[in-house]
């Protein structure tokens, strides 16, 4: 028996030793990608990044997140040259990369990196025809990575590609980050009691996180208010039902009046006669029409303030029609976070609110 065991051990040693380097790498554990949501690590030649192409990229991807009291960019952008990327041991373990290159530059180390990654055939096609669809890769160095190759056959083609691809790339990055944003939002699980109570009282299904509490239920006004309180922040979601009468209710003026009514009635400060109002003087109101889970939705964004206090923050609100029941639902989300960045907190409120379904 000892003889046969020795033969088996020897065979296993020889088998492992004969494995290719690539196979042995696959056997080794793959690290999980590092970094936070809304981050883009741009890989580009320094000359390109410092010039007009870099300015154009920053114009789109570092634009202000909509309707915050203090400007915050849509994405946090960090730049590496290809040489800098490989010089740091953890730089290849980040979550989201975007390669940016003018392929007409034969001396570009970024272009050479792209050619290796996407293959010579695809690389030459872009050089001949320009970029019609950006190439996307995943998990190159770590699990959970997104890699986007944004290239052009020359500078003009790259300019056009940046402009035309901004919306689709932003969406793809959000889809990549969604799981992480959801993890932050529902880190305490789900408040099934509040979710059920809102569904029972208003006929609205919405997934409330476990760390939210009931702030107010007004039976007469058909208004439900939930919020999350921390030492530095206050996040609120208000849902109110109305009778739907006509399309004149789907206006900025109607929505503003309803928010001001809510603020005057329910959101007061310690200063006499101080309450929440919409501030459309310092920032204009932004309106949009969208679809949420198949429901026509009128959206408005802006900032709020307290009438006699130095207090305020961003908000967004939805008016959702349910014509079958002749009902109109107002959802009003507002944030108080003095001295704190607000983009990520507003994203969490949006994620919760976008789970809404009218039953």
Statement to judge: residues 165 and 213 lie in one domain = no
Statement to judge: residues 129 and 214 lie in one domain = no
Statement to judge: residues 160 and 41 lie in one domain = yes
Statement to judge: residues 177 and 314 lie in one domain = no
Statement to judge: residues 253 and 337 lie in one domain = yes
Last residue of a domain, one of 184, 213, 241: 184
Residue 357: beta bridge partners? Answer: 205
pLDDT on residue 29: 66
Angle at 296 between CA 290 and CA 301, to 5 degrees: 45
pLDDT on residue 245: 87
CB 141 within 8 A of CB 90: no
**Looking at the domain assignment, is residue 64 inside a domain?**
yes
Statement to judge: residues 135 and 112 lie in one domain = yes
**Looking at the domain assignment, is residue 12 inside a domain?**
no
**Looking at the domain assignment, is residue 21 inside a domain?**
no
Angle at 29 between CA 10 and CA 90, to 5 degrees: 135
Statement to judge: residues 121 and 224 lie in one domain = no
Taking the CA atoms of residue 268, residue 272, residue 277 and residue 281 in that order, the dihedral angle to the nearest 10 degrees is -150
Angle at 48 between CA 100 and CA 66, to 5 degrees: 65
**Looking at the domain assignment, is residue 217 inside a domain?**
yes
CA-CA distance, 69 to 283, in Å (whole number)?
A: 8
Per-run averaged pLDDT (10 residues), the chain, 359 residues? 49 46 50 93 97 97 93 96 89 95 93 93 87 89 95 94 96 95 96 97 96 96 97 97 88 94 93 94 93 90 94 96 87 96 97 94
CA-CA distance, 359 to 357, in Å (whole number)?
A: 6
Statement to judge: residues 138 and 103 lie in one domain = yes
Instruction: State the CATH number of the domain containing residue 321.
Output: 3.40.1000.10
CA-CA distance, 216 to 201, in Å (whole number)?
A: 13
Last residue of a domain, one of 162, 184, 206: 184
Q: Taking the chain, what is the end-to-end CA distance rounded to the nearest angstrom?
A: 71
pLDDT on residue 5: 52
Statement to judge: residues 217 and 343 lie in one domain = yes
Instruction: State the CATH number of the domain containing residue 67.
Output: 3.40.980
**Looking at the domain assignment, is residue 4 inside a domain?**
no
Structure tokens at 317: 């609100």
**Looking at the domain assignment, is residue 198 inside a domain?**
yes
Statement to judge: residues 180 and 209 lie in one domain = no
Statement to judge: residues 140 and 279 lie in one domain = no
pTM for this model (two decimals):
0.86
Last residue of a domain, one of 137, 168, 184: 184
Structural domains counted in the chain: 2
Statement to judge: residues 203 and 337 lie in one domain = yes
CA-CA distance, 357 to 271, in Å (whole number)?
A: 38
18-41, pLDDT tens digit by residue?
444 444 444 446 889 999 999 999
pLDDT on residue 2: 47
**Looking at the domain assignment, is residue 23 inside a domain?**
no
CA-CA distance, 357 to 329, in Å (whole number)?
A: 11
Range of the domain at 36: 29-184
**Looking at the domain assignment, is residue 216 inside a domain?**
yes
pLDDT on residue 298: 94
């Amino acid at each position: 028996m000892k003889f046969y065991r020795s033969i088996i051990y020897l065979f296993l040693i020889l088998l492992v030793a004969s494995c290719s380097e690539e196979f042995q790498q696959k056997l080794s554990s793959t690290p999980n990608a590092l970094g936070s949501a809304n981050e883009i690590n741009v890989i580009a030649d320094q000359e390109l990044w410092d010039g007009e192409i870099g300015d154009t990229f920053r114009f789109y991807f570092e634009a202000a997140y909509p309707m915050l009291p203090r400007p915050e960019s849509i994405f946090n952008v960090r730049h590496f040259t290809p040489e800098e990327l490989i010089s740091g041991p953890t730089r290849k373990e980040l979550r989201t990369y975007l390669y940016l290159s003018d392929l007409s530059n034969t001396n570009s180390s970024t272009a050479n990196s792209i050619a290796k990654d996407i293959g010579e055939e695809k690389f030459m096609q872009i050089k001949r025809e320009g970029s019609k669809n950006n190439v996307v890769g995943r998990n190159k160095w770590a699990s959970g990575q997104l890699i986007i190759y944004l290239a052009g056959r020359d500078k003009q083609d790259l300019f056009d590609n940046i402009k035309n691809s901004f919306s689709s790339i932003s969406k793809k990055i959000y889809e990549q980050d969604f799981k992480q944003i959801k993890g932050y939002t529902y880190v305490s699980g789900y408040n099934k009691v509040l979710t059920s109570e809102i569904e029972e009282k208003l006929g609205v299904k919405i997934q409330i996180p476990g760390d939210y509490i009931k702030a107010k239920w007004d039976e007469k006004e058909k208004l439900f208010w939930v919020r999350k309180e921390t030492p530095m922040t206050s996040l609120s979601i208000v849902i109110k039902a109305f009778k739907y009468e006509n399309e004149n209710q789907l206006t900025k003026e109607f929505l503003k009046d309803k928010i001001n009514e809510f603020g005057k009635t329910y959101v007061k400060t310690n200063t006499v006669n101080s309450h929440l109002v919409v501030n459309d003087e310092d920032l204009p109101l932004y309106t949009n029409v969208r679809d949420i889970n198949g429901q026509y939705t009128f959206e408005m964004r802006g900032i709020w303030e307290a009438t006699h206090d130095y207090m305020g923050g961003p908000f967004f609100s939805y008016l959702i029609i349910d014509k079958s029941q002749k009902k109109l639902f107002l959802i009003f989300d507002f944030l108080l976070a003095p001295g704190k960045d607000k983009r990520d907190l507003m994203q969490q409120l949006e994620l919760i609110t976008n789970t809404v379904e009218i039953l």
